[in-house]
Amino acid sequence: MGLGQKQGSGDSAGSGLLQRDRIQDRDTLYLGAQSRLRDQDRDRDGFISTDEYNSLQTDTFSALSPNGEGLTLQAYLAAHLGPGPYGAQNPSRQTMMQSRAQERKTERFRIMDGNGDGIVTRNEFMNFGKLNYLEADANDDGKVTYQELQQINRGM
């Protein structure tokens, strides 16, 4: 019996692979929260403070737009901002996941681009990041914990 298959379910090999990919995606979600906390918690106190997040946002924008003139959709889509949907073993599922990721990034860009001019400025990028942080900080204590990162990852 394959990973994720129920005994007697009659799953074909293809759907068994799809279920295995879903389990691996779920596991990556939890590992992603752990690695994000480790990477973003610069003072190693177990949570991400507002200052740590703002610093990360500043560094990220500087990396995405080295000249500081703003970020185009094309540059944003080309940037790898995290682990991304590249680990699925099933090629058709991986293609579908990559397509959905591009759709989500396009929508995030549209939301970030507050004035709709096709360029995300540093201010627009920082404002979007602030909203993300406030959303992640579910209990409004000014800190984002591992558990809060898991919850926000589930909604992405």
Measured between alpha carbons, how far is 57 from 50 in angstroms, rounded to an integer? Answer: 10
Measured between alpha carbons, how far is 122 from 130 in angstroms, rounded to an integer? Answer: 12
Q: What is the pLDDT of residue 156?
A: 52
Measured between alpha carbons, how far is 134 from 143 in angstroms, rounded to an integer? Answer: 9
More confident residue, 118 or 90: 118
| pTM confidence score | 0.71
Highest mean pLDDT among 64-68, 75-79, 121-125: 121-125
